[in-house]
Amino acid sequence: MRRGGWIILILCQLVACDSTATDSIAHRKALAEQFVRGVYGCEPSVVAELGAENVFISYPIFEELFGTPAIRGRDKVEEFAKGFCSRWKDGEFTIHEAVAEGDQVVLVWGFQAENIASGQHSSWGGITLFKFDSAGRIVAEIGEESEPGPVGRLAGSAAAD
């Protein structure tokens, strides 16, 4: 092998050029998306499937709604997912962007659904960080949400320019 070939091979090993690093990043992105779609899309069994025993979810609105900044533990998160599904129907989750590095994935998302009690259609969006443990299970979902979501704010600011 020529000298340049050895240098490229060594550099690839140092910066994880192999497909396993790329595959694991893509896999974590897919798991984060599957988890969020399950929790907010009426498939609470995803919590037991993908969440660690000590998984927690935290959004600023939780303090107002539940009197605590986070929901902790697999059973409580699954209970939260069931409760969410009992309040909203016909939910549509859109992933605008997914970025991953190491044991973390960030999703930029939008959600719209109909409130079952009022019949009112609502939409909001957010940015959420997912952290994975060494076994590949989700240990944290930490997010910020707003109305409109991040993509809606960008569209609005582009129109104002």
With 50 as the cut, is the pLDDT of residue 79 above it?
Answer: yes
Look at residue 56 and give its three-state secondary structure: strand
Cα–Cα dist 70/74, whole Å: 12
State the pLDDT confidence band at 155, using cuts at 50, 70 and 90: low
> Do the beta carbons of residue 115 and residue 86 sit within 8 Å?
no
Q: Which domains does the chain have, with CATH numbers?
A: 22-160 (3.10.450.50)
With 50 as the cut, is the pLDDT of residue 149 above it?
Answer: yes
Average pLDDT over residues 94-118: 95
With 90 as the cut, is the pLDDT of residue 156 above it?
Answer: no
